[in-house]
């Protein structure tokens, strides 16, 4: 029943928000519901730790016929990390989003995203996954354009069209796959393909369509262009939430789909996924280094860092998959936090152009340290979480014989460090150019610090408690590497 809570509580909050009164109370309730989400995810982690997997058959329809919600260790991990990101963003938004946006349903749509993200992580069949994607996307479209500033509208159009195209790829793939296999339940698809002797000639094209859909959502090379064109346009809290959650849902789906279905045609898919991962990693980081806008640098880095996760998946050993899961979790936390700091910088100075910024370290030490922690976690400096993740991915790559790819990953790490240092020097360290006027916005910042500090603590925690978290990821990866467990559990 606990799985149901992840969907019903955000839905309750959305419904409460339709009441036209009590604006203050409703905004306060957002924090309460984010806390409920965290408590639920902790409860799920505890339950999954013992049982391994949890499932819920909606309306008591048996597994291959009805809609089934499944959570294994991987889903529980993703839900827990995203719950942390959501709580931090809600706290941060409480003081950073302007009153007009808050009163016109900002938190309502934010919880639409929460519901969609939670649903995607526990969806047990493909069409259900598509529906949760749409729930998430509709809310994100609205948040993207919410407020109606000119650059926001431009960003939304690009974001909207490319994400719709990705949905069309995904649905077309689902339709064709259903036509061939007669099922949409992920476990059942996995079982049918596994027990079939040579299914590949007829279903490779639907699988490719579905993978293209996921790859557009996950902003992988060569489908990433929507991301840097749109993520720097909405209010900072919104882009922080998107950076932390939306692309990661696409990556989660790729990992789930690969380990359940695509692994049976290893020769073809492994090379494809590996090269996509390497290219995303390299191209993301190179384009990032040439940017001069705080949030644009971070946007391009998202592409580079999902590349790391994908090569971890493509090495396809238990260790590398565990490393990929760990890195995904670390990246969600650290990436969101860098965006949150960018939001603070914008609030204080009114701009995010690196050339016009400077001296932020002198202005506020706490925020500078918060940025330092998460940016250098992204760059992979010990003892922060990024070090553990990158080390594990590169080591597993060398162990599985992908020496060249591991070297490329190391090389990309140097450039990540370079662009994080660039932000640090330009925004926090150098003297601000005298000629440029700053236009700070007023308003309280206490909860903004609280949200950001929560994520920084998460980064430090994942770094210092690297071994227990990694052990958990190893158990999750072991489940993923043996899809028969998932199939047997879902289909009995």
| Binding residues vs other proteins (CB under 8 A) | 127, 131, 134, 138, 141-142, 145, 148-151, 153-158, 160-161, 164-165, 168, 171-172, 174-176, 178-179, 182, 228-230, 232-233, 287, 290-291, 296, 300
By beta-carbon proximity to other proteins, the closer residue of 81 and 238 is 238
DSSP string, 140-162: HHHHHHTT--HHHHHHHHHHHHH
Give the residue with the Cβ less far from other proteins, 179 or 443: 179
Least distance in Å: CB of 326 to other proteins? 30
CB of 404 to other proteins, least distance (A): 29
Neighbouring C-alpha atoms within 13 Å toward the C-beta of 37? 33
CB-nearer residue toward other proteins: 22 or 168: 168
H helix or E strand, kind and range, residue 182? none
Q: Are 124 and 70 in contact (CB under 8 A)?
A: yes
Gap between the Cα atoms of 418 and 81, Å rounded: 27
Query: Which lies closer to other proteins via its Cβ, residue 136 or residue 454?
Result: 136
> Minimum Å distance from CB 205 to other proteins?
12
Reported as type and span, the H/E element at residue 374 is helix 365-379
Q: Which is nearer to other proteins, 23 or 151 (CB)?
A: 151
In terms of CB distance, is 176 or 457 closer to other proteins? 176
Pick 146 or 335: Cβ nearer other proteins: 146
User: C-beta of 146: minimal distance to other proteins in Å?
Assistant: 11
The minimum distance between CB 253 and other proteins, in angstroms, equals 18
Q: Which is nearer to other proteins, 202 or 272 (CB)?
A: 202
Alpha helices by DSSP H, 316-364: 318-349, 360-363
Report the alpha-carbon distance of residue 330 to residue 429 in Å, rounded. 26
Question: What are the tokens at 322?
Answer: 């565990």
CB within 8 Å of 28: residues ≥ 6 apart = none
Pick 142 or 436: Cβ nearer other proteins: 142
One-character DSSP codes across 56-90: EEGGG--TTTS-EEEE-HHHHHHHHHHHHHHHHHH
Omega of the bond leading into 383 within 30 degrees of 0 (cis): yes
Give the gyration radius of the chain's Cα atoms. Answer: 21
Closest contact distance (angstroms) between CB of 459 and other proteins is 27
Q: Kindly state the smallest distance separating residue 142's Cβ from other proteins, in Å.
A: 7
Q: How far is CA 445 from CA 253, 309, 339, 360, 442, in A?
A: 36, 34, 15, 16, 9
Q: Is 96 exposed, middle or buried (0-12, 13-18, 19+ CB in 10 A)?
A: buried
Minimum separation from the CB atom of position 175 to other proteins (A): 4
Select from 150, 345, 140, 104 the least CA-distant residue to 244. 140
- Taking the complex as a whole, the smallest distance from the CB of residue 291 to other proteins amounts, in Å, to 7
């Amino acid at each position: 029943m606990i799985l149901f809570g992840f969907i019903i509580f955000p839905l309750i909050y959305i419904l409460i928000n339709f009441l036209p009164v009590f604006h203050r109370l409703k905004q306060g309730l957002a924090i309460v519901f984010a806390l409920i989400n965290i408590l639920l995810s902790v409860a799920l982690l505890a339950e999954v730790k013992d049982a391994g997997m949890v499932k819920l058959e909606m309306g008591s329809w048996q597994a291959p016929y009805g809609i089934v919600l499944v959570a294994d260790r991987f889903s529980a991990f993703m839900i827990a990390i995203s719950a942390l990101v959501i709580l931090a963003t809600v706290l941060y938004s409480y003081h950073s989003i302007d009153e007009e946006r808050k009163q016109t349903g900002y938190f309502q749509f934010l919880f639409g995203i929460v519901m969609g993200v939670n649903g995607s992580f526990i969806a047990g069949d493909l069409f259900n996954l598509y529906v949760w994607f749409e729930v998430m996307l509709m809310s994100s479209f609205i948040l993207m354009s919410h407020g109606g500033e000119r650059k926001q509208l431009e960003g939304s159009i690009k974001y909207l069209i490319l994400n719709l195209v990705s949905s069309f790829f995904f649905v077309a793939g689902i339709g064709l796959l259903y036509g061939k296999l007669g099922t949409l339940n992920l476990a059942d698809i996995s079982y049918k393909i596994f027990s079939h002797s040579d299914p590949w000639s007829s279903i490779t094209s639907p699988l490719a369509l579905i993978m293209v859909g996921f790859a557009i959502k996950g902003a992988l090379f060569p489908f990433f262009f929507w991301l840097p064109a749109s993520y720097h346009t909405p209010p900072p809290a919104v882009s922080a939430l998107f950076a932390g959650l939306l692309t990661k849902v696409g990556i989660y789906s790729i990992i789930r789909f690969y380990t359940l279905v695509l692994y049976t045609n290893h020769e073809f898919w492994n090379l494809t996924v590996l090269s996509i991962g390497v290219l995303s990693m390299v191209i993301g980081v190179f384009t990032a280094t040439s940017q001069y806008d705080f949030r644009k640098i971070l946007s391009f880095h998202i592409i580079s860092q999902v590349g790391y996760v994908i090569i971890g998946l493509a090495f396809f050993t238990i260790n590398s998959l565990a490393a990929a899961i760990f890195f995904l979790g670390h990246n969600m936390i650290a990436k969101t936090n860098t965006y949150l700091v960018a939001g603070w910088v914008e609030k204080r100075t009114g701009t995010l152009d690196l050339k016009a910024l400077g001296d932020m370290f002198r202005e506020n030490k706490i925020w500078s340290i918060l940025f330092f922690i998460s940016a250098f976690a992204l760059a992979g400096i010990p003892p922060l979480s990024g070090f553990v993740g990158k080390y594990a991915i590169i080591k597993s790559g060398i162990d599985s014989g992908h020496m060249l790819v591991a070297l490329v990953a190391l090389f990309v790490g140097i450039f990540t460090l370079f662009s994080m240092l660039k932000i640090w020097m330009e925004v926090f360290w150098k003297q601000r150019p005298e000629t440029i006027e700053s236009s700070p916005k007023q308003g309280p910042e206490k909860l903004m610090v609280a949200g950001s500090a929560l994520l920084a603590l998460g980064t430090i925690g994942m770094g210092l408690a690297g071994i227990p978290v990694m052990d958990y990821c190893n158990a999750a990866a072991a489940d993923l590497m043996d899809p028969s467990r998932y199939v047997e559990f879902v289909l009995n």
